[in-house]
Amino acid sequence: MRIKIINPYKVIFDNIIRLSIIFFVLFVSMIWASGGYDHGTSTGKGKLQIDLTWNPFNYFENGQSYIVIGYGITKRLDIHGYYCDHGNYHNGVDSYYYGLFYQFLDSKYLDLATALGKRKMMDLEYGHFFFPQLLYNVKLYNDFSLGGSFVNVKNDTEPLLKKIKTDWFT
């Protein structure tokens, strides 16, 4: 009968290597992540993009944790959405969003897009329309970029496009 002797230093060393690899992969993926939701670059035809943002244990008072998913229908048209935990907002209300995204400018230094979407706040009796949206992605040096958006948010109890009455003869 053979007895197998376990070397405790080898076990500890193996665990340190595993944890180092996990930390490295997570760190590198955070560096190249799109960093959330508001950017003007489409995912690309047939591609799926998943982004995660985490506010650990609601540490940041106005922070959010969310998962964003985008799928490229064509080179410039995506369906996209997110599920979000708003942390301390309204005692931790969650929300989800879904919409269509269209990138209309793809240049060397700037991407521009527009989108139409609907958000539902889980604990509230109403949701929101996000329209119009102008999303941008400024391409900086060495594959770094800066993205953001300008968004008009309306309650879904209001009409999306309001009729404007004009009296031309007054």
Mind spelling out the 3-state secondary structure of the chain?
Answer: CCCCCCCHHHHHHHHHHHHHHHHHHHHHHHHHCCCCCCCCCCCCECCEEEEEECCHHHCCCCCCEEEEEEEECCCCEEEEEEEEECCCHHHCCEEEEEEEEEEEEECCCEEEEEEEEEEEECCCCCEEEEEEEEEEEEECHHHCEEEEEEEEEEECCCCCCCCCCCCCCC
* pLDDT tens digits along 118-134: 999 888 888 888 888 89
Q: Which of 89, 74, 139, 75 is nearest to 119 (CA)?
A: 89
What is the value of pTM for the model shown?
0.67
- Which two three-digit tokens encode residue 92? 């931790």
Q: What pLDDT does residue 90 have?
A: 66
Going by the DSSP 8-state scheme, the letter that residue 45 receives in this structure is B
* pLDDT tens digits along 82-132: 998 887 766 678 889 999 999 999 999 999 999 999 999 888 888 888 888
* pLDDT tens digits along 130-148: 888 899 989 888 878 888 8
Q: Which of 125, 110, 49, 41 is nearest to 81 (CA)?
A: 49
Q: What's phi and psi for 16, nearest 5 deg?
A: -65, -40
Strands 48-53 and 77-85: unpaired
Radius of gyration of the chain (CA): 23
Site of tokens 């959405």: 81
